[in-house]
């Protein structure tokens, strides 16, 4: 039986392209708008495009916050993408100070490159991944992926996990920022795997394989 994956629709996601990419990798996918539906799925994906404050507001208004945390307690797999990754953190400093889901301790901050660097914000386009050699979950997330592989980014803010051991990859853009995390059943990436060609599809295949391994 194929893995059943739910993509959460809270009004700010890049839903169709994520759905098509996951289907291509061999899973059964549904886009859901009701938090009660989460319990029916083996894994969750939280995508996102837009601003942190309205996104977390919609998450809470629709009771997705409690449902996501219950899903994680059951040991089921979870993937946050771009804004969906940032929402996992304790605080965001995008347009003020906003409380996130606090699933990952840490902050979300804006890129402030030096004038001499002439870097454009948002960070948009292809950039490389420096894969952690110490994070065991990163080895599962990036199985079959070569070091310094390119993936696609579109963001102005980056995540700072308090526990650096959670970092699965870093990427250089003015600073070496955390471009993904992996810990047990929680995966998150700042880049868009659904827009990252064969590398992105391999990450999604690894996500599905890990879900099947956990028998979640």
Catalytic annotation, residues = 82, 192, 194
pTM score, whole prediction: 0.96
Look at residue 155 in the predicted model and tell me its pLDDT: 97
Contact 9, 45 (CB under 8 A): no
CATH of domain 4-214: 3.40.50.880
- Which pLDDT band holds residue 12 (cuts at 50, 70, 90)? confident
Look at residue 213 in the predicted model and tell me its pLDDT: 86
Look at residue 214 in the predicted model and tell me its pLDDT: 77
Would you list the domain boundaries of the chain?
4-214
Look at residue 30 in the predicted model and tell me its pLDDT: 96
* pLDDT cut 70: percent of the chain above it: 99
**Per-residue pLDDT tens digits for 15-60:** 999 999 999 999 999 999 999 999 999 999 999 889 999 999 999 9
Look at residue 215 in the predicted model and tell me its pLDDT: 65
Number of helices (H) and strands (E) in the chain: give both, helices first: 6, 14
- Which pLDDT band holds residue 216 (cuts at 50, 70, 90)? low
Burial class of 179 by CB neighbour count within 10 A (0 to 12, 13 to 18, 19+):
buried
DSSP state of 154: E
Question: 175: which residues sit within 8 A by CB, 6+ positions away?
Answer: 111, 158
Look at residue 14 in the predicted model and tell me its pLDDT: 78
């Amino acid at each position: 039986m194929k893995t059943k994956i739910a993509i959460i629709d809270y009004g700010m996601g890049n839903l169709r392209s994520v759905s098509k990419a996951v289907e291509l990798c061999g899973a059964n996918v549904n886009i859901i708008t009701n938090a009660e539906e989460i319990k029916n799925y083996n894994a969750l994906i939280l995508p996102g495009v837009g601003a942190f404050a309205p996104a977390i507001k919609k998450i809470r208004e629709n009771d997705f916050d409690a449902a996501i945390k219950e899903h994680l307690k059951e040991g089921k797999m979870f993937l946050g993408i771009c804004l969906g990754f940032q929402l996992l953190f304790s605080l965001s400093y995008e347009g003020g100070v906003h409380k996130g889901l606090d699933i990952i301790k840490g902050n979300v901050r804006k890129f402030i490159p030096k004038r001499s660097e002439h870097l454009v914000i948002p960070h948009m386009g292809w950039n490389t991944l420096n894969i952690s050699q110490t994070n065991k979950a990163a080895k599962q997330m990036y199985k079959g992926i070569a070091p310094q592989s390119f993936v696609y980014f579109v963001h102005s803010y980056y995540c700072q996990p308090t526990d650096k051991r959670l970092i699965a990859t870093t990427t250089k853009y003015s600073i070496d920022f955390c471009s993904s995390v992996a810990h047990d059943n929680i995966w998150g990436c700042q880049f868009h795997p659904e827009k990252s060609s064969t590398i992105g599809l391999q990450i999604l295949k690894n996500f599905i394989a890990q879900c099947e391994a956990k028998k979640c």
